[in-house]
C-alpha cells in the first residue's frame, strides 16, 4: 500500500504545529531496542516515503536505502562495526575504558537494519558547483532526519551507526564504484525513549544552548 499523498494545501493548525515541535524535541539517537519481528511492509514503506520527501540540492536525491534486516546480514556487518568501536576507544586515550562501557549500536536487536548510501555522483551542477560533495552529504542527511522524525511520530526508535570503515562496509554491501556508505540505521520499537540524549544522560557530553550556536560579527547588534 502506497503512502503517496497529494500536494499539501492550506495552513496547519496550532495543534499540528505543536505536535511537530514535540516530535522534534522527543527525537533521540536510540541504541536500545526491543527484540521482535520486522516492521510491517506498509509501515516501512511509509517511513521511507517520508525520507524520500526530503529536500535535496538540485533535486538530485543523493540517497539510496538498503534493507539488511536478515540475521545473516547483521552477523556479517557486526564485525565491521566492532573493529571501528575498538579503534575509536583506543583513539580516545584516557577515556577509552569509559567509552567501551557505552552501547553504541542496536544491530542485533532492532526490528529493521537499513544502510544509507551515497550513490555514484550523477553530475548535478545546480546549487553544488563549488561544493559538490558537501551538498550531496547535506542532502542525504536531510533524508535521514526525515526518517528519524517519521519514526518518532510512529513511536519507533532510530539510531545512526557511523562506526565503520567505509571501504570495508562498501565491500560487504557490494556497492557500485563511486558509491559510499554513510551509515547503518537501526530502526524499531524501543523499551523507552531517553529523557535526554543518551550521551548527555551518561555524562559523556552536554548539549550546548542555542545562544552558543549564534555567531555575531564584530559590530553586529547584540
pLDDT band at 177 (very low <50, low <70, confident <90, very high): very high
Q: Residue 69: count other Cβ atoms within 10 Å of its Cβ.
A: 17
- The pLDDT, as a whole number, for residue 221 is 60
Question: What average pLDDT does range 199-215 have in this prediction?
Answer: 94
Which whole number is the average pLDDT over 82-90?
98
Which one, of 201, 21, 195, 209, lies nearest residue 102 by Cα?
A: 201
Where does the pLDDT of residue 62 fall: very low under 50, low under 70, confident under 90, or very high at 90 and above?
Answer: very high
Say what the pLDDT of residue 34 is.
Answer: 98
Q: What is the pLDDT of residue 218?
A: 74
Inform me whether the pLDDT recorded for 7 exceeds 90.
no
**Mean of all residue pLDDT scores within the chain:** 94
Burial readout 90-99 (b: 16 or more C-beta within 10 A, e: otherwise): eeeeeeeeeb
| Strand pairing report for 64-67 and 180-188 | unpaired
Q: Read off the pLDDT of each residue in 173-178 and give the average, rounded to a whole number.
A: 98
Q: How far apart are CA 212 and CA 204, in angstroms?
A: 19
How far is 28 from 148, CA to CA, in rounded Å? 8
> Does residue 75 surpass a pLDDT of 50?
yes
Q: Which domains does the chain have, with CATH numbers?
A: 36-192 (3.40.109.10)
5: confidence class by pLDDT, cuts 50, 70, 90: low
Which pLDDT belongs to residue 6?
A: 40
pLDDT higher than threshold 60 for residue 11: yes
Angle separating helix axes 14-26 and 132-153, nearest 10 degrees: 110
As a whole number of Å, the CA-based R_g of the chain is 19
> pTM for this structure?
0.92
The pLDDT assigned to 204 comes to 95
Cell numbers given for 149: 522524525
With contact defined as beta carbons under 8 Å apart, do 184 and 74 qualify?
no
Q: What is Dmax (Cα atoms) for the chain?
A: 59
Amino acid at each position: 500500500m502506497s503512502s503517496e499523498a497529494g500536494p499539501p494545501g492550506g495552513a496547519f493548525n496550532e495543534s499540528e504545529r505543536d505536535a511537530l515541535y514535540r516530535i522534534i524535541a522527543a527525537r533521540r539517537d536510540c541504541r536500545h531496542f526491543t527484540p521482535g519481528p520486522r516492521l510491517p511492509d506498509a509501515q516501512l514503506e511509509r517511513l521511507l516515503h517520508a525520507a524520500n520527501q526530503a529536500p535535496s540540492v538540485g533535486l538530485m536525491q543523493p540517497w539510496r536505502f538498503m534493507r539488511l534486516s536478515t540475521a545473516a546480514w547483521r552477523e556479517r556487518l557486526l564485525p565491521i562495526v566492532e573493529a571501528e568501536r575498538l579503534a575509536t576507544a583506543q583513539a580516545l586515550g584516557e577515556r577509552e575504558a569509559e567509552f567501551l562501557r557505552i552501547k553504541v549500536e542496536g544491530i542485533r536487536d532492532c526490528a529493521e537494519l537499513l544502510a544509507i548510501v551515497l550513490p555514484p555522483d550523477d553530475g548535478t551542477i545546480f546549487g553544488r558547483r563549488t561544493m559538490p560533495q558537501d551538498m550531496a552529504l547535506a542532502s542525504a542527511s536531510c533524508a535521514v532526519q526525515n526518517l528519524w522524525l517519521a519514526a518518532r511520530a510512529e513511536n519507533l526508535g532510530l539510531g545512526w551507526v557511523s562506526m565503520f570503515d567505509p571501504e570495508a562496509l562498501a565491500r560487504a554491501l557490494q556497492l557500485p564504484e563511486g558509491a559510499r556508505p554513510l551509515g547503518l540505521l537501526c530502526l524499531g520499537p524501543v523499551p523507552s525513549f531517553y529523557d535526554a540524549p543518551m550521551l548527555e544522560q551518561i555524562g559523556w557530553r552536554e548539549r550546548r544552548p542555542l545562544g552558543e550556536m549564534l555567531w555575531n560579527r564584530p559590530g553586529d547588534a547584540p
